[in-house]
Structure 1
Amino acid sequence: MIKVHVLPCGSTVVDEALPFSDQSKNPLAFTGLFRGKKHKVRVTVRAYLIEHPKGLILVDTGWDDAIRQDARAYEGFFNYFASPGFLPEGEGIVDQLAALGYRTSDLDYCILTHMDIDHAGGIGEVKDARRVMCSEAGWQAANKRNPRYLKRLWQDVDVTTFEDAPHDLFGDGSVVLLPMHGHSAGMTAVKVGGKDHYLLIAGDAGYGRPSWERQVLPGVEWNRKETAKSLKRLREFALDPHCEAVLMTHDREKTKDAFVL
Protein backbone atom coordinates (compact mmCIF):
# COMPACT_ATOMS: atom_id res chain seq x y z
CA MET A 1 0.00 0.00 0.00
CA ILE A 2 1.15 3.53 -0.85
CA LYS A 3 -0.27 6.56 0.92
CA VAL A 4 0.16 10.13 -0.31
CA HIS A 5 -0.45 12.96 2.16
CA VAL A 6 -1.26 16.45 0.91
CA LEU A 7 0.50 18.96 3.18
CA PRO A 8 -0.72 22.58 3.22
CA CYS A 9 2.41 24.72 3.60
CA GLY A 10 1.06 28.23 3.67
CA SER A 11 0.06 30.33 0.68
CA THR A 12 1.01 33.18 -1.59
CA VAL A 13 -0.89 36.09 -3.10
CA VAL A 14 -0.48 36.68 -6.83
CA ASP A 15 -2.10 38.55 -9.66
CA GLU A 16 -4.82 36.44 -11.27
CA ALA A 17 -2.90 36.63 -14.57
CA LEU A 18 0.09 34.77 -13.14
CA PRO A 19 -1.59 31.34 -13.02
CA PHE A 20 -3.88 32.02 -15.99
CA SER A 21 -2.68 34.35 -18.72
CA ASP A 22 -6.15 34.73 -20.23
CA GLN A 23 -7.12 36.96 -17.30
CA SER A 24 -5.42 39.94 -18.95
CA LYS A 25 -4.05 41.07 -22.31
CA ASN A 26 -1.28 42.96 -20.54
CA PRO A 27 1.91 40.83 -20.86
CA LEU A 28 3.21 42.23 -17.55
CA ALA A 29 -0.02 41.67 -15.61
CA PHE A 30 1.47 38.61 -13.88
CA THR A 31 3.80 40.92 -11.93
CA GLY A 32 0.89 42.85 -10.44
CA LEU A 33 2.46 46.11 -11.64
CA PHE A 34 -0.15 48.91 -11.72
CA ARG A 35 -2.87 46.36 -10.92
CA GLY A 36 -5.31 46.80 -8.04
CA LYS A 37 -6.24 44.45 -5.23
CA LYS A 38 -9.29 43.27 -7.15
CA HIS A 39 -6.92 41.30 -9.37
CA LYS A 40 -5.17 39.56 -6.47
CA VAL A 41 -5.87 35.93 -5.56
CA ARG A 42 -4.53 33.77 -2.75
CA VAL A 43 -3.27 30.38 -3.85
CA THR A 44 -2.11 27.39 -1.87
CA VAL A 45 1.43 26.16 -1.40
CA ARG A 46 1.55 22.39 -0.98
CA ALA A 47 4.09 19.68 -0.34
CA TYR A 48 3.45 15.94 -0.41
CA LEU A 49 4.57 13.03 1.72
CA ILE A 50 4.59 9.57 0.14
CA GLU A 51 4.55 6.64 2.57
CA HIS A 52 5.89 3.83 0.41
CA PRO A 53 6.90 0.29 1.47
CA LYS A 54 10.36 1.00 0.07
CA GLY A 55 10.91 4.42 1.59
CA LEU A 56 9.52 7.70 2.88
CA ILE A 57 9.47 10.40 0.22
CA LEU A 58 8.84 14.13 0.58
CA VAL A 59 7.97 16.03 -2.60
CA ASP A 60 8.84 19.73 -2.23
CA THR A 61 9.23 21.57 1.07
CA GLY A 62 7.11 24.72 0.88
CA TRP A 63 8.34 27.89 2.57
CA ASP A 64 11.13 28.07 5.12
CA ASP A 65 9.97 28.98 8.64
CA ALA A 66 12.23 32.04 8.38
CA ILE A 67 9.71 33.69 6.08
CA ARG A 68 7.56 34.48 9.12
CA GLN A 69 10.18 36.89 10.48
CA ASP A 70 10.46 39.20 7.47
CA ALA A 71 8.97 37.94 4.23
CA ARG A 72 10.20 40.91 2.20
CA ALA A 73 13.84 40.40 3.25
CA TYR A 74 13.55 36.64 2.90
CA GLU A 75 12.12 36.60 -0.63
CA GLY A 76 13.88 39.62 -2.09
CA PHE A 77 12.16 42.54 -3.79
CA PHE A 78 11.21 40.85 -7.07
CA ASN A 79 9.70 37.71 -5.52
CA TYR A 80 7.96 39.54 -2.69
CA PHE A 81 6.40 42.06 -5.06
CA ALA A 82 5.01 39.39 -7.39
CA SER A 83 4.09 36.70 -4.84
CA PRO A 84 4.48 37.45 -1.13
CA GLY A 85 4.48 34.27 0.94
CA PHE A 86 2.59 33.43 4.12
CA LEU A 87 3.31 30.53 6.46
CA PRO A 88 0.96 30.14 9.45
CA GLU A 89 2.19 28.44 12.61
CA GLY A 90 2.02 24.68 12.32
CA GLU A 91 2.23 24.63 8.51
CA GLY A 92 6.02 24.55 8.19
CA ILE A 93 7.39 21.30 6.78
CA VAL A 94 8.95 20.17 10.08
CA ASP A 95 5.63 20.67 11.88
CA GLN A 96 3.75 18.89 9.11
CA LEU A 97 6.02 15.87 9.32
CA ALA A 98 5.82 15.83 13.13
CA ALA A 99 2.03 15.82 12.97
CA LEU A 100 2.30 12.56 11.00
CA GLY A 101 4.79 11.09 13.45
CA TYR A 102 7.99 11.70 11.49
CA ARG A 103 11.25 13.61 11.83
CA THR A 104 13.17 15.01 8.89
CA SER A 105 15.85 12.38 9.44
CA ASP A 106 13.22 9.70 8.70
CA LEU A 107 13.02 10.85 5.10
CA ASP A 108 14.63 8.53 2.58
CA TYR A 109 14.14 11.05 -0.23
CA CYS A 110 13.23 14.68 -0.69
CA ILE A 111 12.34 15.25 -4.34
CA LEU A 112 12.17 18.86 -5.50
CA THR A 113 9.95 19.45 -8.53
CA HIS A 114 12.02 22.60 -9.14
CA MET A 115 13.98 25.10 -7.10
CA ASP A 116 11.63 28.09 -6.80
CA ILE A 117 11.55 29.39 -3.24
CA ASP A 118 7.97 28.30 -2.53
CA HIS A 119 8.98 24.73 -3.42
CA ALA A 120 12.54 24.54 -2.11
CA GLY A 121 12.30 27.13 0.67
CA GLY A 122 12.49 24.53 3.41
CA ILE A 123 15.37 22.59 1.87
CA GLY A 124 17.68 23.52 4.74
CA GLU A 125 15.19 22.11 7.23
CA VAL A 126 15.25 18.66 5.58
CA LYS A 127 18.97 18.48 4.76
CA ASP A 128 19.33 15.42 6.99
CA ALA A 129 17.11 13.40 4.65
CA ARG A 130 19.06 10.47 3.24
CA ARG A 131 18.92 11.99 -0.23
CA VAL A 132 17.79 15.41 -1.51
CA MET A 133 17.21 15.37 -5.26
CA CYS A 134 16.29 17.56 -8.20
CA SER A 135 16.78 17.31 -11.95
CA GLU A 136 20.13 18.23 -13.48
CA ALA A 137 18.60 20.98 -15.63
CA GLY A 138 16.72 22.37 -12.64
CA TRP A 139 19.88 22.41 -10.55
CA GLN A 140 21.90 24.14 -13.25
CA ALA A 141 19.23 26.80 -13.74
CA ALA A 142 18.89 27.41 -10.01
CA ASN A 143 22.58 28.13 -9.62
CA LYS A 144 22.74 30.84 -12.26
CA ARG A 145 21.95 34.51 -11.65
CA ASN A 146 18.17 34.65 -11.54
CA PRO A 147 16.03 36.47 -8.93
CA ARG A 148 13.51 33.63 -8.77
CA TYR A 149 16.10 31.39 -7.07
CA LEU A 150 17.78 31.92 -3.70
CA LYS A 151 21.04 29.96 -3.79
CA ARG A 152 21.73 30.71 -0.13
CA LEU A 153 18.94 28.30 0.82
CA TRP A 154 20.90 25.24 -0.31
CA GLN A 155 24.49 26.33 0.24
CA ASP A 156 25.12 23.64 2.86
CA VAL A 157 22.75 20.99 1.48
CA ASP A 158 24.04 17.93 -0.37
CA VAL A 159 21.85 17.79 -3.48
CA THR A 160 21.88 14.82 -5.86
CA THR A 161 20.73 15.35 -9.43
CA PHE A 162 19.06 13.00 -11.89
CA GLU A 163 18.93 13.13 -15.68
CA ASP A 164 16.14 14.99 -17.44
CA ALA A 165 14.47 11.76 -18.47
CA PRO A 166 11.94 9.46 -16.78
CA HIS A 167 13.56 8.19 -13.59
CA ASP A 168 12.11 5.11 -11.88
CA LEU A 169 12.98 5.69 -8.24
CA PHE A 170 12.60 2.09 -7.02
CA GLY A 171 12.80 0.27 -10.33
CA ASP A 172 9.26 -1.08 -10.11
CA GLY A 173 7.22 1.73 -11.71
CA SER A 174 5.58 2.77 -8.44
CA VAL A 175 7.33 6.16 -8.19
CA VAL A 176 8.50 7.68 -11.47
CA LEU A 177 9.99 11.15 -11.90
CA LEU A 178 8.84 12.65 -15.19
CA PRO A 179 10.20 15.68 -17.07
CA MET A 180 7.47 18.31 -17.27
CA HIS A 181 9.44 21.30 -18.49
CA GLY A 182 8.14 24.76 -19.29
CA HIS A 183 7.41 26.57 -16.05
CA SER A 184 11.09 26.14 -15.30
CA ALA A 185 14.08 24.34 -16.71
CA GLY A 186 14.07 20.79 -15.38
CA MET A 187 10.57 21.00 -13.92
CA THR A 188 9.67 17.48 -12.68
CA ALA A 189 6.39 15.73 -11.99
CA VAL A 190 6.05 12.61 -9.82
CA LYS A 191 3.81 9.71 -10.88
CA VAL A 192 2.85 7.54 -7.90
CA GLY A 193 1.13 4.14 -8.04
CA GLY A 194 0.65 1.43 -10.65
CA LYS A 195 -0.57 1.63 -14.22
CA ASP A 196 -4.13 0.77 -13.15
CA HIS A 197 -4.36 3.23 -10.23
CA TYR A 198 -2.07 6.20 -9.81
CA LEU A 199 -1.88 9.93 -9.24
CA LEU A 200 0.37 12.65 -10.58
CA ILE A 201 2.06 15.28 -8.44
CA ALA A 202 2.44 17.94 -11.09
CA GLY A 203 4.17 20.74 -9.19
CA ASP A 204 3.85 23.92 -11.28
CA ALA A 205 3.35 22.20 -14.61
CA GLY A 206 -0.16 23.61 -14.19
CA TYR A 207 -1.90 25.91 -11.73
CA GLY A 208 -5.43 24.53 -11.73
CA ARG A 209 -8.13 22.84 -13.78
CA PRO A 210 -8.19 25.56 -16.49
CA SER A 211 -4.50 24.88 -17.12
CA TRP A 212 -5.09 21.42 -18.52
CA GLU A 213 -8.80 21.62 -19.34
CA ARG A 214 -8.59 24.72 -21.55
CA GLN A 215 -4.80 24.63 -22.08
CA VAL A 216 -4.36 28.05 -20.48
CA LEU A 217 -0.72 29.01 -20.15
CA PRO A 218 0.50 30.90 -17.08
CA GLY A 219 1.45 34.55 -17.30
CA VAL A 220 5.14 33.75 -17.22
CA GLU A 221 7.14 30.65 -18.03
CA TRP A 222 10.71 29.63 -18.76
CA ASN A 223 9.79 28.18 -22.16
CA ARG A 224 6.37 28.77 -23.68
CA LYS A 225 6.58 25.92 -26.17
CA GLU A 226 7.63 23.40 -23.53
CA THR A 227 4.90 24.66 -21.19
CA ALA A 228 2.27 24.00 -23.86
CA LYS A 229 3.63 20.46 -24.33
CA SER A 230 3.47 19.82 -20.60
CA LEU A 231 -0.11 21.09 -20.40
CA LYS A 232 -1.11 18.61 -23.10
CA ARG A 233 0.51 15.82 -21.09
CA LEU A 234 -1.33 16.98 -17.96
CA ARG A 235 -4.62 16.77 -19.83
CA GLU A 236 -3.80 13.21 -20.93
CA PHE A 237 -3.11 12.23 -17.32
CA ALA A 238 -6.18 14.04 -15.97
CA LEU A 239 -8.50 12.35 -18.47
CA ASP A 240 -7.01 8.89 -17.94
CA PRO A 241 -9.60 6.81 -16.01
CA HIS A 242 -6.74 5.15 -14.10
CA CYS A 243 -5.52 8.51 -12.76
CA GLU A 244 -7.13 9.36 -9.43
CA ALA A 245 -5.85 12.92 -9.24
CA VAL A 246 -3.54 15.49 -10.76
CA LEU A 247 -2.18 17.46 -7.83
CA MET A 248 -0.89 20.96 -8.54
CA THR A 249 0.94 22.96 -5.90
CA HIS A 250 -1.10 26.14 -6.25
CA ASP A 251 -4.48 24.71 -7.23
CA ARG A 252 -7.28 26.60 -5.47
CA GLU A 253 -9.64 23.63 -5.68
CA LYS A 254 -9.96 21.58 -2.53
CA THR A 255 -8.48 18.12 -2.52
CA LYS A 256 -8.41 15.17 -0.16
CA ASP A 257 -5.94 15.21 2.71
CA ALA A 258 -4.58 11.82 1.66
CA PHE A 259 -4.81 9.24 -1.12
CA VAL A 260 -4.32 5.49 -0.81
CA LEU A 261 -3.01 3.67 -3.86
Structure 2
Amino acid sequence: MRTSKDEGVLLYAFTCGYITLPMSFFLDGEPGKAKVPACVFLIDHPNGLVLFDTGFSDRFVGMEKGLGKIVDMPKGESVADRLRALDIDPARIDYVINSHLHIDHAGGNALIPDATIIVQEPEWDFGMSGEDTAYDLQDFDTGQSVKRIAGDHDLFGDGTVIIFPTAGHTPGHQSVRVKTATGEAVLAADCCNMRRSLDEMHLPDHCYNVDQYRGSLEKLSQLRRNGAQIFYGHDPDFWAMVPQAQALDLSGPGTI
Protein backbone atom coordinates (compact mmCIF):
# COMPACT_ATOMS: atom_id res chain seq x y z
CA MET A 1 0.00 0.00 0.00
CA ARG A 2 0.89 3.69 -0.09
CA THR A 3 4.09 4.77 1.64
CA SER A 4 3.80 8.48 0.83
CA LYS A 5 1.55 10.96 -0.95
CA ASP A 6 4.32 11.40 -3.52
CA GLU A 7 3.31 8.09 -5.08
CA GLY A 8 0.22 9.72 -6.58
CA VAL A 9 -2.79 7.58 -7.46
CA LEU A 10 -2.51 3.80 -7.11
CA LEU A 11 -4.92 1.29 -8.66
CA TYR A 12 -5.58 -2.26 -7.43
CA ALA A 13 -7.79 -5.05 -8.81
CA PHE A 14 -9.70 -7.80 -7.00
CA THR A 15 -12.03 -10.65 -7.89
CA CYS A 16 -15.10 -10.74 -5.63
CA GLY A 17 -17.04 -13.77 -6.87
CA TYR A 18 -18.07 -15.28 -10.20
CA ILE A 19 -21.26 -15.74 -12.17
CA THR A 20 -22.05 -18.22 -14.95
CA LEU A 21 -24.39 -17.00 -17.67
CA PRO A 22 -25.11 -17.70 -21.35
CA MET A 23 -22.36 -16.28 -23.52
CA SER A 24 -25.00 -14.34 -25.47
CA PHE A 25 -25.58 -12.32 -22.31
CA PHE A 26 -22.19 -10.76 -23.05
CA LEU A 27 -21.92 -11.13 -26.85
CA ASP A 28 -25.15 -11.46 -28.82
CA GLY A 29 -25.45 -14.70 -30.76
CA GLU A 30 -22.51 -16.49 -29.14
CA PRO A 31 -23.24 -20.09 -28.04
CA GLY A 32 -22.51 -21.77 -24.72
CA LYS A 33 -21.96 -20.36 -21.30
CA ALA A 34 -19.21 -18.38 -19.60
CA LYS A 35 -18.06 -18.17 -15.99
CA VAL A 36 -17.00 -14.58 -15.52
CA PRO A 37 -15.49 -12.62 -12.62
CA ALA A 38 -17.08 -9.87 -10.59
CA CYS A 39 -14.36 -7.23 -10.95
CA VAL A 40 -13.63 -4.73 -8.19
CA PHE A 41 -11.05 -1.94 -8.05
CA LEU A 42 -9.46 0.01 -5.24
CA ILE A 43 -8.30 3.54 -6.10
CA ASP A 44 -5.81 4.80 -3.54
CA HIS A 45 -5.71 8.58 -3.94
CA PRO A 46 -3.59 10.80 -1.68
CA ASN A 47 -6.85 12.38 -0.46
CA GLY A 48 -8.97 9.28 -0.01
CA LEU A 49 -9.71 5.61 -0.66
CA VAL A 50 -12.24 4.70 -3.33
CA LEU A 51 -13.81 1.45 -4.51
CA PHE A 52 -15.19 1.01 -8.01
CA ASP A 53 -17.92 -1.60 -7.56
CA THR A 54 -18.05 -4.10 -4.70
CA GLY A 55 -18.78 -7.50 -6.28
CA PHE A 56 -21.18 -10.02 -4.79
CA SER A 57 -22.57 -9.93 -1.29
CA ASP A 58 -21.08 -12.42 1.16
CA ARG A 59 -24.60 -13.81 1.58
CA PHE A 60 -23.81 -15.98 -1.46
CA VAL A 61 -20.92 -17.78 0.28
CA GLY A 62 -21.81 -21.46 0.51
CA MET A 63 -25.18 -20.99 -1.17
CA GLU A 64 -26.32 -24.03 -3.12
CA LYS A 65 -29.86 -23.02 -4.01
CA GLY A 66 -31.42 -20.22 -5.99
CA LEU A 67 -28.79 -17.90 -7.38
CA GLY A 68 -26.18 -20.18 -5.84
CA LYS A 69 -26.58 -22.31 -8.96
CA ILE A 70 -25.04 -19.60 -11.07
CA VAL A 71 -23.15 -17.50 -8.49
CA ASP A 72 -19.87 -18.80 -7.09
CA MET A 73 -18.77 -16.75 -4.09
CA PRO A 74 -15.84 -18.51 -2.40
CA LYS A 75 -15.20 -17.82 1.26
CA GLY A 76 -12.66 -15.06 1.74
CA GLU A 77 -13.41 -13.29 -1.55
CA SER A 78 -15.79 -10.57 -0.38
CA VAL A 79 -14.63 -7.01 -0.88
CA ALA A 80 -14.17 -6.65 2.88
CA ASP A 81 -11.92 -9.74 2.94
CA ARG A 82 -9.93 -8.43 -0.02
CA LEU A 83 -9.34 -5.13 1.75
CA ARG A 84 -8.35 -6.73 5.04
CA ALA A 85 -5.78 -8.83 3.17
CA LEU A 86 -4.12 -5.50 2.31
CA ASP A 87 -4.40 -4.36 5.95
CA ILE A 88 -7.15 -1.90 5.06
CA ASP A 89 -10.11 -1.61 7.41
CA PRO A 90 -13.27 -1.49 5.20
CA ALA A 91 -14.44 1.41 7.39
CA ARG A 92 -11.55 3.49 5.99
CA ILE A 93 -13.04 3.58 2.48
CA ASP A 94 -14.31 7.08 1.74
CA TYR A 95 -16.28 6.46 -1.47
CA VAL A 96 -17.87 3.61 -3.41
CA ILE A 97 -18.47 4.38 -7.07
CA ASN A 98 -21.04 1.92 -8.36
CA SER A 99 -20.96 1.46 -12.13
CA HIS A 100 -24.56 0.37 -11.68
CA LEU A 101 -26.58 -1.35 -8.98
CA HIS A 102 -26.88 -4.95 -10.21
CA ILE A 103 -26.16 -7.65 -7.63
CA ASP A 104 -22.65 -8.41 -8.94
CA HIS A 105 -21.60 -4.75 -8.76
CA ALA A 106 -23.25 -3.41 -5.60
CA GLY A 107 -23.49 -6.60 -3.54
CA GLY A 108 -20.66 -5.64 -1.20
CA ASN A 109 -21.79 -2.06 -0.53
CA ALA A 110 -23.09 -2.91 2.93
CA LEU A 111 -19.64 -4.25 3.89
CA ILE A 112 -18.18 -0.75 3.44
CA PRO A 113 -20.08 0.96 6.27
CA ASP A 114 -18.78 4.53 6.25
CA ALA A 115 -18.42 5.14 2.52
CA THR A 116 -20.47 7.58 0.49
CA ILE A 117 -22.06 5.78 -2.46
CA ILE A 118 -21.71 7.64 -5.77
CA VAL A 119 -24.21 6.73 -8.47
CA GLN A 120 -25.84 8.39 -11.45
CA GLU A 121 -29.28 9.71 -10.55
CA PRO A 122 -31.17 7.74 -13.27
CA GLU A 123 -29.51 4.53 -12.01
CA TRP A 124 -30.58 5.12 -8.43
CA ASP A 125 -34.13 5.91 -9.45
CA PHE A 126 -34.40 2.86 -11.70
CA GLY A 127 -32.88 0.54 -9.11
CA MET A 128 -35.30 1.78 -6.46
CA SER A 129 -38.29 1.32 -8.79
CA GLY A 130 -38.25 -2.48 -8.56
CA GLU A 131 -38.75 -2.88 -12.31
CA ASP A 132 -35.72 -5.15 -12.81
CA THR A 133 -34.98 -8.28 -10.75
CA ALA A 134 -31.22 -7.85 -11.32
CA TYR A 135 -31.44 -5.18 -8.62
CA ASP A 136 -31.82 -6.18 -4.97
CA LEU A 137 -32.59 -3.39 -2.50
CA GLN A 138 -30.76 -5.15 0.32
CA ASP A 139 -27.53 -4.57 -1.61
CA PHE A 140 -27.74 -0.81 -2.04
CA ASP A 141 -30.63 0.61 0.02
CA THR A 142 -28.50 0.28 3.13
CA GLY A 143 -28.84 3.66 4.81
CA GLN A 144 -25.40 4.76 3.64
CA SER A 145 -24.88 8.29 2.41
CA VAL A 146 -25.67 8.44 -1.32
CA LYS A 147 -24.37 11.11 -3.69
CA ARG A 148 -26.50 11.09 -6.83
CA ILE A 149 -24.73 12.75 -9.73
CA ALA A 150 -25.73 13.76 -13.24
CA GLY A 151 -23.07 13.34 -15.90
CA ASP A 152 -19.32 13.78 -15.51
CA HIS A 153 -17.88 14.19 -12.03
CA ASP A 154 -14.27 14.93 -11.04
CA LEU A 155 -14.13 13.18 -7.68
CA PHE A 156 -11.09 14.92 -6.20
CA GLY A 157 -11.05 18.00 -8.42
CA ASP A 158 -7.62 17.22 -9.87
CA GLY A 159 -8.48 15.22 -13.00
CA THR A 160 -7.20 11.89 -11.67
CA VAL A 161 -10.54 10.16 -10.98
CA ILE A 162 -13.20 11.16 -13.50
CA ILE A 163 -16.62 9.51 -13.41
CA PHE A 164 -18.50 9.65 -16.72
CA PRO A 165 -21.84 8.25 -17.90
CA THR A 166 -21.87 5.16 -20.13
CA ALA A 167 -25.58 4.34 -20.30
CA GLY A 168 -27.07 1.51 -22.32
CA HIS A 169 -26.60 -1.57 -20.19
CA THR A 170 -28.75 0.20 -17.60
CA PRO A 171 -30.28 3.71 -17.56
CA GLY A 172 -27.53 5.18 -15.40
CA HIS A 173 -24.45 3.06 -15.97
CA GLN A 174 -21.17 4.92 -15.37
CA SER A 175 -17.47 4.23 -15.85
CA VAL A 176 -14.32 5.81 -14.43
CA ARG A 177 -11.08 7.18 -15.86
CA VAL A 178 -8.17 6.79 -13.45
CA LYS A 179 -4.87 8.57 -14.10
CA THR A 180 -1.90 7.02 -12.31
CA ALA A 181 1.80 7.81 -12.56
CA THR A 182 2.17 4.98 -15.09
CA GLY A 183 -0.81 5.61 -17.35
CA GLU A 184 -4.56 5.98 -17.67
CA ALA A 185 -7.06 3.20 -16.98
CA VAL A 186 -10.72 3.16 -17.93
CA LEU A 187 -12.80 0.98 -15.62
CA ALA A 188 -15.58 0.11 -18.04
CA ALA A 189 -17.75 -2.41 -16.15
CA ASP A 190 -20.79 -3.60 -18.10
CA CYS A 191 -20.82 -0.98 -20.82
CA CYS A 192 -18.09 -3.18 -22.34
CA ASN A 193 -18.23 -6.81 -21.24
CA MET A 194 -15.36 -8.26 -23.25
CA ARG A 195 -12.40 -7.11 -25.30
CA ARG A 196 -14.33 -8.43 -28.31
CA SER A 197 -17.20 -6.12 -27.37
CA LEU A 198 -14.97 -3.17 -28.21
CA ASP A 199 -12.85 -4.74 -30.97
CA GLU A 200 -15.94 -5.81 -32.92
CA MET A 201 -18.54 -3.34 -31.58
CA HIS A 202 -20.35 -6.49 -30.53
CA LEU A 203 -23.32 -5.79 -28.25
CA PRO A 204 -24.89 -8.22 -25.77
CA ASP A 205 -28.31 -9.76 -26.41
CA HIS A 206 -29.84 -7.51 -23.76
CA CYS A 207 -29.52 -3.75 -23.53
CA TYR A 208 -31.67 -1.24 -21.74
CA ASN A 209 -31.02 1.04 -24.70
CA VAL A 210 -29.17 -0.22 -27.78
CA ASP A 211 -28.31 3.22 -29.15
CA GLN A 212 -26.90 4.36 -25.81
CA TYR A 213 -24.90 1.15 -25.48
CA ARG A 214 -23.35 1.60 -28.89
CA GLY A 215 -22.57 5.22 -28.08
CA SER A 216 -20.82 4.16 -24.87
CA LEU A 217 -18.68 1.67 -26.79
CA GLU A 218 -17.75 4.41 -29.27
CA LYS A 219 -16.71 6.63 -26.36
CA LEU A 220 -14.48 3.86 -25.00
CA SER A 221 -13.03 3.24 -28.44
CA GLN A 222 -11.93 6.86 -28.66
CA LEU A 223 -10.35 6.70 -25.20
CA ARG A 224 -8.47 3.55 -26.19
CA ARG A 225 -7.19 5.22 -29.37
CA ASN A 226 -5.94 8.05 -27.17
CA GLY A 227 -3.84 5.62 -25.16
CA ALA A 228 -6.03 4.63 -22.21
CA GLN A 229 -6.10 0.99 -21.15
CA ILE A 230 -9.63 -0.39 -20.97
CA PHE A 231 -10.49 -2.78 -18.17
CA TYR A 232 -13.33 -4.83 -19.64
CA GLY A 233 -16.20 -5.68 -17.32
CA HIS A 234 -16.51 -9.48 -17.50
CA ASP A 235 -13.77 -10.88 -19.73
CA PRO A 236 -12.23 -13.95 -18.03
CA ASP A 237 -9.30 -14.18 -20.47
CA PHE A 238 -8.41 -10.52 -20.03
CA TRP A 239 -8.94 -10.68 -16.27
CA ALA A 240 -6.54 -13.62 -15.96
CA MET A 241 -3.76 -11.25 -17.08
CA VAL A 242 -4.60 -8.54 -14.54
CA PRO A 243 -2.40 -8.77 -11.41
CA GLN A 244 -4.47 -9.05 -8.26
CA ALA A 245 -4.09 -7.05 -5.05
CA GLN A 246 -1.01 -5.11 -6.18
CA ALA A 247 -0.56 -1.65 -7.64
CA LEU A 248 -1.10 -1.91 -11.39
CA ASP A 249 1.59 -0.74 -13.79
CA LEU A 250 -0.07 0.87 -16.82
CA SER A 251 3.09 2.00 -18.58
CA GLY A 252 3.35 1.32 -22.26
CA PRO A 253 0.63 0.29 -24.72
CA GLY A 254 -0.93 -3.08 -24.10
CA THR A 255 0.76 -3.60 -20.75
CA ILE A 256 -2.34 -5.27 -19.37
**Common fold by TM > 0.5:** yes
- Out of 93, 100, 117, the position equivalent to 2:86 is 100
CA distance in 1, matches of 2:121, 2:145: 10
Give yes or no for contact 1:165–1:178 (8 Å, CA) kept in 2: yes
SS in 2 for 1:141: helix
**8 Å CA contact retained: 1:2, 1:260:** no
Tell me, yes or no, if the aligned pair for 2:191 and 2:233 is still in contact at 8 Å.
no
User: After superposition, where does 1:213-224 map in structure 2 within 5 Å?
Assistant: 213-224=199-210
Q: Distance in 2 between matches of 1:181 and 1:201?
A: 14
The CA deviation at 1:89 is 1.9
Let me know the Cα RMSD of the aligned residues.
1.9
Match of 2:58 in 1: 65
Tell me if structure 2 keeps the 8 A contact 1:47–1:249: no
Taking structure 1 as the reference length, what is the TM-score of the superposition?
A: 0.85
Q: How many corresponding residue pairs?
A: 237
Are the structure 2 counterparts of residues 195 and 183 from structure 1 closer, same or farther at C-alpha, using a change threshold of 3 Å? farther
For the pair 1:134 / 2:123, whether they are aligned, the reply is no
Q: Does 148-157 or 206-215 show the bigger shift? A: 148-157
1:45 corresponds to: 38
Q: Can you give the 5+ residue segments of structure 2 that lack an aligned partner in the other structure? A: 1-7, 251-256
- Which amino acid is 1:51 matched to? D
**Which residue identity is paired with 1:139?**
W
Q: How does 1:231-242 map to 2 (within 5 A)?
A: 231-241=217-227
Show structure 1 runs of 4+ deviating over 4 A. Answer: none
Are residues 1:259 and 2:243 paired?
no
The one of 232, 239, 246 equivalent to 1:248 is 232
Query: Cα–Cα, structure 1 residues 196 and 69, in superposed 2: closer, same or farther, change >3 Å?
Result: closer
The amino acid across from 1:158 in the alignment is Q
CA shift, 1:196, in A, is 9.2
Percent identity reads 27
Alignment of 1:187-198 (within 5 A): 187-193=173-179, 197-198=183-184
Opposite residue 128 of structure 1, the aligned amino acid is D
* Alpha-carbon separation, structure 2, partners of 1:256 and 1:53: 23
| Whole-angstrom distance in 2 between the partners of 1:260 and 1:172 | 21
Are the aligned partners of 2:54 and 2:106 in contact in 1 as well (CA < 8 Å)?
Answer: yes
2: distance between equivalents of 1:107 and 1:196?
Answer: 23
Secondary structure, counterpart of 1:207 in structure 2: coil
What are the within-5 Å matches in structure 2 for residues 31-42 of structure 1?
39-42=32-35
Distance in 2 (CA, whole Å) between partners of 1:61 and 1:178 is 18
Normalising by structure 2, we get a TM-score of 0.86
- Which 5+ residue runs of structure 1 have no aligned equivalent? 25-38
- Specify the SS of the correspondent of 1:23: coil
